[in-house]
A and B are shown apart, each in its own frame.
Chain A
Amino acid sequence: MLKAIFPSQLALGAAQAALCATVALLVAWIARRREIRVERETAVALARGLAQIVAVGSVLVLLLRGPQWTSVFVLAGMTVAAAATSARRARGIPGAFAVSLYSIGAGAGLLIVVMTLAGVIDAGIASLVPMGSMLIANAMNTNSLALNRFRAEVEAHAGLIETGVALGAAAPETVLPYARAAYHASLIPPIDSLRSLGIVWIPGLMTGMLLSGARPLYAAIYQFVTISMMFSCAGLTSLVSTLLIRNRVFTAAEQLILRPGLKA
């Protein structure tokens, strides 16, 4: 229907974006009616997402024609931005940005380096940057889920945690069960992605490879490779994240910082 109304590709894109953003805001409004307030966050995320992708899209052609070494800086910049975004999920935890940076850096960074050296990811900037960005975004999502779940678990079990601390336990040990729960919860999306690969979900990368003339079997296998990498990246990110965050919810004197209703 939109194609008939908007013959120009740019106008069509703008109309499609407006329609999808409206649907997203409608969902946020329905959530608000159920007293779940995500409308502001949704609106900001939509505006930011659109502005960012349009900006990147505008410079992507130039970027992908640049020298190969620039990919290191591009990916490093993406990692910092991902860490800043993810750290917002751990408000109230000191050093959440550093934890996110180390976790995403370890998870995505290590996978990108190892897989590029092994030849799984093509070292050319045109494939390294998109593939790297996919892994960084995946690491960011996993890290956000892990931090968010950990914070919720700690707040919900503050009494039990402080009981352990009051009995002389090492503070990080008292939050270990909640770090494990957060780790497990953060891995649910990548595990489900692996499980449903090809049945529920035929990702865009495989479609793109098929359209550009790759052999269907290789496209399928490479898609599995990509999703496996994303799983490994998520697992590593969450492992580092939940390991580092355990110490951050306590002061130097092992006092719990995250307590419901606490204003320090």
Chain B
Amino acid sequence: MMAAMPILETVHLTREAGGKKLVEDISVAVERAEVLAVAGPSGAGKSCLLRLLNRLDEPTSGTVYLEGKDYRALAPRELRRRVGMMTQMPYLFPGTVTENLRFGPRQQGKHLSGAEVDALLERVGLRQRAAHPVEHLSGGEAQRVSLARALANRPCVLLLDEPTSALDEGSKQEVETLILDVVRQNALTCIVVTHDMAQAARMADRVLLLKAGRLARIGGTREVLHAEGNLS
């Protein structure tokens, strides 16, 4: 039987900047509906690796295959619609929650109806907030809107860059649970960057451990964390 094609695969992915190798020779395949955590200490190149996956930064060498196709052959805008991203800071556009949710589809000439906006907000637990100005949202609510906005583009892969690290303890747990629910319910492929090993253990099927830009270890969550002494 033929093995299923990975939805996303990096091949010898490397990025150098300012004479320094930020990410070096990363080859990893991510399966459909898999949650992969990219963990490691500060400055290990986690966020840099994530930015290479939707081509916000250009690899110095190596490439990424999205559903078997070299992503350099895809139009960057098309690639970024298919590989959604949620960052540490929500970076909401000035305006209402609805305007933020409609931003992505509008770039493709699509109009998100009121019902579709409500459905997205329902998924992130923000009913009745459609007309709310974003500057009045709490940190946790803003991050939920950021997630809903990324989902509005119907991505096949979702990249999460430390999605809860800027939140207070109460919101952190809520947002993490919400992300996990949304990802599992929609069978989304998800790559989450975290410096928190416990979060990696709670969220991911596999963990990719980066050290100084290089792949130090990859495997099942328990296996990697156990080997690193983070799981007894």
User: A170 interface residue, CB < 8 Å from B?
Assistant: yes
User: A17 interface residue, CB < 8 Å from B?
Assistant: no
User: A254 interface residue, CB < 8 Å from B?
Assistant: yes
Residues from chain A with a CB closer than 8 A to the CB of B84 are 166-167
Complex-state Cα separation, A262 to B18, whole angstroms: 8
Complex-state Cα separation, A160 to B103, whole angstroms: 12
Q: A169 contacts which of B18, B58, B77, B89 (Cβ < 8 Å)? A: B77
Residues from chain A with a CB closer than 8 A to the CB of B108 are 168
User: B81 interface residue, CB < 8 Å from A?
Assistant: yes
Q: Is the CB of B153 within 8 A of A167?
A: yes
Min C-beta distance of A172 to chain B, whole Å: 12
Complex-state Cα separation, A164 to B80, whole angstroms: 10
User: B17 interface residue, CB < 8 Å from A?
Assistant: yes
Q: Is the CB of B54 within 8 A of A251?
A: no
User: A153 interface residue, CB < 8 Å from B?
Assistant: no
Complex-state Cα separation, A168 to B58, whole angstroms: 16
Residues from chain A with a CB closer than 8 A to the CB of B76 are 253-255
Complex-state Cα separation, A165 to B58, whole angstroms: 14
B71's closest neighbor in chain A, by CB? A253
Residues from chain B with a CB closer than 8 A to the CB of A166 are 54, 56, 80, 84-85, 87
User: B78 interface residue, CB < 8 Å from A?
Assistant: yes
Q: Is the CB of B91 within 8 A of A163?
A: yes
Min C-beta distance of A141 to chain B, whole Å: 31
Complex-state Cα separation, A217 to B210, whole angstroms: 77
Q: Given known contacts A159-B89, A163-B87, A263-B17, is B103 in contact with A255 (CB within 8 Å)?
A: no
User: A200 interface residue, CB < 8 Å from B?
Assistant: no
Residues from chain A with a CB closer than 8 A to the CB of B17 are 262-264
Min C-beta distance of B105 to chain A, whole Å: 9
Complex-state Cα separation, A173 to B219, whole angstroms: 41
For chain A, which range describes its interface: under 10, 10 to 19, 20 to 34, or 35 or more residues? 10 to 19
User: A39 interface residue, CB < 8 Å from B?
Assistant: no
Complex-state Cα separation, A170 to B87, whole angstroms: 19
Q: By DSSP majority rule, is chain A's interface helix, strand, loop, or mixed?
A: loop
B18's closest neighbor in chain A, by CB? A263
Residues from chain A with a CB closer than 8 A to the CB of B42 are none
Complex-state Cα separation, A80 to B59, whole angstroms: 36
User: B107 interface residue, CB < 8 Å from A?
Assistant: yes
Q: Is the CB of A159 within 8 A of B91?
A: yes
User: A155 interface residue, CB < 8 Å from B?
Assistant: no
Min C-beta distance of B212 to chain A, whole Å: 18
B146's closest neighbor in chain A, by CB? A163
Q: Is the CB of B57 within 8 A of A255?
A: yes
Q: Is the CB of A160 within 8 A of B91?
A: yes
Residues from chain B with a CB closer than 8 A to the CB of A169 are 77, 103-104, 107
Residues from chain B with a CB closer than 8 A to the CB of A159 are 87, 89, 91
Q: Is the CB of B77 within 8 A of A255?
A: no
Q: A168 contacts which of B57, B91, B93, B104 (Cβ < 8 Å)? A: B104
Complex-state Cα separation, A163 to B146, whole angstroms: 10
Residues from chain A with a CB closer than 8 A to the CB of B55 are 253, 255
Q: Is the CB of A168 within 8 A of B107?
A: yes
Q: Is the CB of A162 within 8 A of B104?
A: no
Residues from chain A with a CB closer than 8 A to the CB of B89 are 159
Identify the A interface with B (CB < 8 A).
159-160, 162-170, 251, 253-256, 262-264
**Besides A165-B80, A168-B80, A169-B77, 12 new A-B residue pairs in contact (Cβ under 8 A), listed by A number:** A159-B87, A159-B89, A166-B84, A167-B107, A168-B77, A168-B78, A168-B108, A169-B104, A170-B77, A253-B76, A255-B76, A262-B17
Identify the B interface with A (CB < 8 A).
17-18, 54-58, 76-78, 80-81, 84-85, 87, 89, 91, 93, 103-104, 107-108, 149-150, 153
